[in-house]
Structure 1
Amino acid sequence: MRINLKMPLFIALIAILFASCKKNTVPEEIKSETSVIAPVANPVAPTNPVAVIPSYEVGTGSGYLTIDGKSLDLTSIKLIKVKGGTYKGIYIKNIIASPASPVKIVNNGQVYISEGMETDNVSYVTISGDAISNLTYGFAFENIALRAVKLNGLMNGVTLKNMSFKNVNDYCIAGEKTNGSNLVYNGNSNTRVENFKILNCFFDNAGQISFGGNLNENEDTGLFKDVEIAYNTFQNTDAGSLCAFTNVQDYNIHHNVVNNINQSSNNHNGVFYMQGNGIFHDNKLTNYQGNAIRMWIYSRGSSPATVEIYNNICYNTRKYGGFEIQQFDRNIIAGKTTFVNAKVYNNTVGKMNTSKDWEGQILDLYNFGGTLDYYNNLGFELYKVQGVITDMINYNGNAAKTNISNNKYFAQQSSAITDINRFNSLFAGIGSPGN
């Protein structure tokens, strides 16, 4: 008997197909998930650490303070901070630094000094009252019976700045014999004082700044070189010559303001009195007595230096003219010194010698071996004892060789300048640029 397998085989195939179709039905859609992206924060720049300058903190705020370089390691620490307070005196000694690595002594708060400050054996040291942003004069000297600041010995590269001086009865800042008459110059730099500066100081009813020795045939002492006196204010004193250096080479006096000086003095003062050579410029002097500067002139060596007076404002003197230039035979030494040449230009000078007992012109010119270039000066309300004012020079002794041009004089202030506060010239290129 044969068994027929066709029919069951067909049915089986249909069943298999049906089952497979059922498994292949479209699956339910997969729900998509929303991506969550973390916000990106703005990058924060790394903060540079504030540089902390290593320093020594000295002083208690009272009494006497001594700062002795021998007791401090200054090989790497170059800053000394003085604690604020009221000191009787401050004594600074034995600090020998270098131009490349100077030492600075500053105020850490307001420092008052009632007796004085003294230095000895210091070089390339700056003593400055500018360390606190809201204090202009961090070292204040008030009601000083004797000298406010005394400086001993060689003091190359010493700077005094941002100090105030009020009611100083004696010299305000002065050298001693060890950098004056006892310091003999032999031609070497280690026998003179170099790069001494007084900057940004305030002097009110204070005494004289005084330094130097003498120069003549038999003596050469107390020589200072490259002195700078700048950005200071002087007022309300009868000290006579407010700043005097009696043996100086290459000084630079500039941007000082002077007012109400020598109202009861009748000496022949020079507010600045300098013996040697240098430049005097951009200073403003009002309501005073004396020449703005008395230049007693000589050059070191055999080549003549050139002294210059320019861009200054001088107004309302009771006695004397604007500037003085004078040479003395005692200062001209064969093989050591010679004459100078001079330039006087772009100065504004008015209302000179109101007492009318002396010439009151722009320049008092005495014996003078060099050549004078004198130009672009502006004068008004000057005084001449006899005759008419011409070039505004008061000639005394042997006249120098002069090159004179483009100067203007007016009898009235209103014809020369805008006002007596800023002193702006009414003529381009003539007189001081103003204040």
Structure 2
Amino acid sequence: METRVNLNYTSYLPESPVSELTFNTPNSATLNQKKGYLYASSPDKLTPIIMTSSDNSVALVKLEESYWYVEYVGTGTVTITASQGTGSVSRTVNISKEELNSGRIFNVGSGSGDVNIDESMNLIAGDTVIIAPGTYNFVNVSNIKIADGALPVNIISNGLVEVSGDFNSYSFRNLRNVIIDGGRTEGIKYGFLVRDNIYQAIYLEDINHITIKNLELKNIYDAGWNWQNIKDIIYDGSEESYQKGNKFINIKADNAGYFNAGGSLDANNEQPIVGLVEGLLFENWDIENSSAGTMINIGCGQNITFNNIHCNHINTINNNHNSVLFCSGTADVINCSVKNFQGNLIRLWTWTLIDGNIKGRITPKKCLFYGNTAISSRKYSFFETQHFDRYIIEGLASFADIDIFNNTGANLNLNIPTVFTGTLLDNYDLGGGTVRCFNNLIINPVNPDSNNIYFSYNSIAEGGSENQKGEIQEFNNRVYYNLEESKINPASLAIEDGAEALRGAIDNTSAKKYTSDYYGNVNRGYIGAIQGKALSIGSVNIPTMPDISEWFDSYDGSSANNFQVNAKRSRSEIGIKNYDIKRNGTIEISVGGNCRDGKADPDSDSGFNVGEVIQWQFRARDFQNQLSDWSERFVHVMPGATYSSVPLTLTKTSGGTLINNDNVYEAAIETVFCSTGISISYNESLRLVFDNVLALDSNFPYVGWAETNQITSIDQIRAGARSGAQNLNDVILVKDGYESKTGYFKEEDRYLSLRIHYDGYTWLQASSDEVDWYKVSSQLDKTSQIIDGVNLNIKFLVIVIPLGCKLSNPRLITYPTIQSGLIS
């Protein structure tokens, strides 16, 4: 492999400074089109610029990731204003709906049940079908084929059309020249929604020249999109042997599975090309909170375009080598972004169809990756390119070339310890193709001492002449070893004022395609992905609280390996820098926005024991180091036990008045004797854990077990504990009505855990920090063991609450069988 370096590039003069506050919007817009970014210029670089809308129900204006944006959510005329200090500039925008076809209009759907739009309706070119709002089991659109070039059939929503529940789905089959659009209703961007499904959400089959727009997937736990029977289509060069021209625009996926079109090319197979798709467009996607691996998978594709695909919190619990996007074939990746993730942005396994049939191509295609950003990855590099011998078929398939330019990557591969280098490109065999990398910017590389900061040389491609297997050309790239030095806005990777060193992007044929970045800023010759300058935004709201949503573990019977916790994303106008993790009371600060458990390496033992209980909380930190509140507490018991987060309900059996104030119990008039309704039967054990709310002049409760759940006296407690009588922070153990001192409650000991086993073993643990409180080993301390003999009686869990005591949120951990190492 040969690497060529060219340091000659065209210089650009600085722009002329502006003399007053200016900004631009379009004069007109269409309802629910893609998010548009507002950018302003001013000679005052210190005073924040504030954008507002005269009517947020028509044009919603917000600050996100250091940029002001507008979404057109209603029809009418609206005024958008940029203000700086006492000055302001306003623009007027007219927003309209897309016009319906002039054909017939059909109304379908009753708000529930199923919707079927098919050949029985005898739809023709120009017809429109309107689905009534509601929650449906299935929406099926099938067997509608309109001639290419004719007016399409439009299928639109009149409000929110939901498909909800397990195994319910949308189905789009046997379609040609059809538009399915959920963006025609004011105030509803995603008029088609599929949610809360443990299986697959959307089925595709035999589709050509269809457009699916303004659709949302939420909480889909299998494949989000399944292109069925695609592998049964054998490519022979004819129009019928591949599927083409489909567009998927304005799609949102939150906690949803992947898009799968699973064809393949393999010269060793009897049918070398199956499931070929051509000309697919994926545009304006927002993907978040998914660990499905590859979010869009194209197993056999030509001329695929990924444009404005934006991903956050992807693969936070994955450790396999994967990518957010995957294509075997040819693809362009334009103005996409990924953050807080694991994997490559794209793995492109390159080959070009050269049989002259698809668009007459007989020479290798050049793919383009430009305008993309990647920040805060746990594993792997920005891009991957690779080629295999099975992709070369004389006269049918050849290699492809790639130009990779005007991209910005920062904080890549921050897993500690480092598992792989984090570079611009993981490059493998090129199969004879050429990869050119120029105008790219890498910040805070994990491999600062590498001979080449931009590539990992995992390639067998030979270099030296055009006749050999592959060539890499690298020129006019930049590296900065920290964010501060780069003068890049860390939230959006936008160029800040004074970053003159980033001017001087090389000009060539490919770069001319990069006319503007994702934010709409015109290319002005900067190196890197985002050409605009960051606005001065002043103070912003603190980040939102992250949501702990799911967990994953595996274990070998004696320890819990690879235990990880996932948190749904937090939001901040200036971007999330990282997450602080509180694990069993200990705060760990991660880097790179990772939502993991803070342990060293994903392949090492987590150090937790079977049956151990771990508490988690997360908080988010933005790029101004502002902190969110801690998330809700998430408690997980390692395999071998079950934790119930629902507080127990106590029932008075005798005594005074029992007061329950939001699961905080206390006694009035006199001591209250309580039943939990919980019994411990043969071969079982449990722990009662609760937060104790008290002062030193209060009393701890009596907690323990009795041979009946209807106690009226302390003497009925066979084994338990309470606070001291003379010295209230003494720990007094109760055994068959007799008491003995065993230790001390500290003033800060707010958490109490009582472990009881059917065979007669009982332990007590108090803690101030919720660490010892959760440890299995602490429950085996002989100094806190109350009964050490065998007592094979059913045990009823009981509690006595004296006056002045408050017992908060009693909860249970149950051990259904005797666990080795838990009983001594």
TM-score relative to the length of structure 2: 0.45
- Are residues 64 and 398 of structure 1, via their aligned partners in 2, closer, same or farther at CA, if it must alter by over 3 Å? same
Structure 2 CA distance, aligned partners of 1:228 and 1:61?
31
Q: Deviations over 1:111-169 (max 9, x none)?
A: 111111112211111111011121100011110121110012x2101221101111001
Partner residue of 1:32? none
Partner residue of 2:248? 198
The amino acid of 2:142's aligned partner reads K
Structure 1 CA distance, aligned partners of 2:489 and 2:176?
45
Partner residue of 2:698? none
Matched position secondary structure for 1:167: strand
Matched position secondary structure for 1:373: strand
Aligned-residue CA RMSD in angstroms? 1.6
Task: Report the Cα offset of residue 246 of structure 1.
Answer: 0.3
Partner residue of 1:23? none
Partner residue of 1:398? 460
Q: 1:313 aligns with which of 358, 363, 373?
A: 373
The amino acid of 1:418's aligned partner reads I
Structure 1 CA distance, aligned partners of 2:395 and 2:101?
53
Partner residue of 2:671? none
Partner residue of 2:435? 372
The amino acid of 2:396's aligned partner reads K
Q: Is the 8 A contact 2:160 2:188 kept in 1?
A: yes
Equivalences for residues 235-246 of structure 1 within 5 A: 235-246=288-299
Q: 1:347 aligns with which of 394, 402, 407?
A: 407
The amino acid of 1:420's aligned partner reads P
Q: Is the 8 A contact 1:324 1:364 kept in 2?
A: yes
Partner residue of 1:358? 420
Structure 2 CA distance, aligned partners of 1:110 and 1:394?
48
Q: How many aligned residue pairs are there?
A: 381
**1:126 aligned onto 2:176:** no
Structure 2 CA distance, aligned partners of 1:324 and 1:181?
25
The amino acid of 1:79's aligned partner reads T
Task: Report the Cα offset of residue 398 of structure 1.
Answer: 2.4
Q: Is the 8 A contact 1:204 1:234 kept in 2?
A: yes
Range moving further from structure 2, 248-257 or 389-398: 389-398
Range moving further from structure 2, 317-326 or 142-151: 142-151
Partner residue of 2:465? none
Partner residue of 1:295? 348
Partner residue of 2:38? none
Range moving further from structure 2, 357-366 or 400-409: 400-409
Q: Which runs of 5+ in 2 are unaligned?
A: 1-98, 355-361, 462-469, 504-525, 533-824
TM-score relative to the length of structure 1: 0.85
Task: Report the Cα offset of residue 236 of structure 1.
Answer: 0.5
Q: Is the 8 A contact 2:348 2:385 kept in 1?
A: yes
Q: 1:172 aligns with which of 217, 224, 234?
A: 224
Task: Report the Cα offset of residue 75 of structure 1.
Answer: 2.7
Structure 2 CA distance, aligned partners of 1:251 and 1:366?
21
- Identity between Structure 1 and Structure 2 (%): 28
Structure 2 CA distance, aligned partners of 1:294 and 1:158?
26
Partner residue of 2:494? 424
The amino acid of 1:173's aligned partner reads W
Q: Is the 8 A contact 1:423 1:434 kept in 2?
A: no
Matched position secondary structure for 1:279: strand
Partner residue of 2:318? 265
The amino acid of 2:455's aligned partner reads I
The amino acid of 1:138's aligned partner reads G
Partner residue of 1:81? 130
Equivalences for residues 143-158 of structure 1 within 5 A: 143-152=196-205, 154-158=206-210
Task: Report the Cα offset of residue 402 of structure 1.
Answer: 2.5
Structure 2 CA distance, aligned partners of 1:245 and 1:272?
8
Larger Cα Rg: Structure 1 or Structure 2? 1
The amino acid of 1:81's aligned partner reads I
The amino acid of 2:262's aligned partner reads G
- Are residues 303 and 380 of structure 1, via their aligned partners in 2, closer, same or farther at CA, if it must alter by over 3 Å? same
Partner residue of 1:13? none
Structure 2 CA distance, aligned partners of 1:307 and 1:353?
25
The amino acid of 1:96's aligned partner reads K
Task: Report the Cα offset of residue 214 of structure 1.
Answer: 1.3
Task: Report the Cα offset of residue 77 of structure 1.
Answer: 4.7
Range moving further from structure 2, 189-198 or 239-248: 189-198
Structure 2 CA distance, aligned partners of 1:224 and 1:144?
27
The amino acid of 1:354's aligned partner reads L
Structure 1 CA distance, aligned partners of 2:529 and 2:125?
46
